[in-house]
Structure 1
Amino acid sequence: MPPIPDSASRHDAPALLIIDLQQGMREPQLGPRNNPEAETRVAALLSHWRAHGWPVVHIRHISRSPTSVFAPGQAGVLFQPAFEPQANEQVFEKNVPDAFTHSSLERWLRVRGIEHLVIVGVSSENSVESTARSAGNLGFHTVVLNDACFTFAKSDFDGRPRSAEEVHAMAMANLQGEYATVLNCTELLTSLFAEPS
């Protein structure tokens, strides 16, 4: 991502895509997770984007399964209070992991001339990875923030238990250099406000 000075116009700035930070992600049944400070970092980034008038996109998952915590009518589908969209921020709903599938997200970005995306949220190997893969394949300059995403422990294909840290690390490895640039929040903010050489 090329450096964008603090005085960057809204048109030049990257869009912040906040994926699935809904109340259902707090359910204990989802199991152990990593990056316990991820929401705090996302909230700080959101505040930063809002202060600069940069584009913010909120992604919300609506499950097709009636037993899901993300089924329509469940409290789990609601945004967490810290990430409640403002009137001037865009919201897209999805029924599959990839936020670009069956939505007008790509068109919304293209119409506004947005070429750079910063992706944060949950889950690292699911909606974050899927959306970042599509973003990269569609030609967007995509950054995924390692410390502003999280996931949960799960078993691998062979049935071996994997910690949330392991699942997250593999998701970031899958994306790095192939579909996106993986940074931490400090690296991103330094990059955005670096003086051109």
Structure 2
Amino acid sequence: MTVSAGPLPLIILDVQDAIDQPVWKDKSNPGYLAAIERLLAYWRERHWPIIHIKHDEAVPTSTYHTHGPWNAIKKEVAPQPGEPVIVKHQNCAFIGTDLDAVLKRIGATRFVLTGVVIHNSMDATVRAGKALGYTILLPSDATTAVPVTSKDGGRWDARTVQDLTLAILDGEYAQVTDTDALIQSVR
């Protein structure tokens, strides 16, 4: 994979203290945060654009509740001065936010998406971003999934959920890669 010239923002989606609460247990990729930290350090060293997306949930029982104790962005990936934080209230980072306007303002036609969880907000954001005309690079090791249980009791383990979601998104909606390959392609 070769990445063309022009701004390539790194987007970090929903990486908040909320994701460490028991409802989000049994993650498929416990190392996702280290991969995001590595990408974040690489982007910061080069002064490339970084955008943080923070989920503020209105439902008081949500771990992401706006005024809840776990709403803060995780300290490992906390924004530095000058790095915008876009607050979202839906699963998709483009709905009801200025993400599209921010990307257009910096001239971005593509972006790298990292964060949590691949089968929820990341999936929704990838699909909307593609529909808006963006090229999306999705490092598989910089995201994670949790098990999914259907109403009828069917259960899929987190690894299966992550693998299937990435397989569905790859090619048609995003270019699935990993942190090492992505860093090599943007050098």
TM range (shorter): over 0.9
Quote the offset at 1:111 in angstroms.
1.4
TM-score normalised according to structure 2 size:
0.95
Cα displacement string for residues 167-187 of structure 1 (whole angstroms, at most 9, x for unaligned residues): 111111221111111101111
Q: Identity across aligned pairs (percent)?
A: 29
Match of 1:49 in 2: 43
Match of 1:29 in 2: 23
Question: Do the aligned partners of residues 22 and 116 (structure 1) sit closer, same or farther apart at CA in structure 2, a change above 3 Å counting?
Answer: same
Distance 2:108 2:169 in 1: 21
Cα displacement string for residues 9-55 of structure 1 (whole angstroms, at most 9, x for unaligned residues): xxx23100101000010012322111111100100100110000000
Question: Which stretches in structure 2 are left out of the alignment for 5+ residues?
Answer: none
Runs of 4+ off more than 4 Å: none
Quote the offset at 1:159 in angstroms.
2.8
> Structure 1 residue 169 and structure 2 residue 160: aligned?
no
Quote the offset at 1:2 in angstroms.
4.2
Quote the offset at 1:166 in angstroms.
0.8
**Equivalent residue for 1:126, pick from 116, 120, 127:** 120
**Equivalent residue for 1:87, pick from 81, 92, 98:** 81
Question: Which stretches in structure 1 are left out of the alignment for 5+ residues?
Answer: none
**Equivalent residue for 1:153, pick from 143, 147, 152:** 147
Structure 1 stretch 166-175 or stretch 37-46: which is displaced more?
166-175
Distance 1:134 1:184 in 2: 21
Maintained 8 Å contact 2:65/2:71: yes
Structure 1 stretch 38-47 or stretch 152-161: which is displaced more?
152-161
**Equivalent residue for 2:182, pick from 151, 171, 188:** 188
How many residue pairs get aligned? The number is 187
Distance 2:29 2:174 in 1: 20
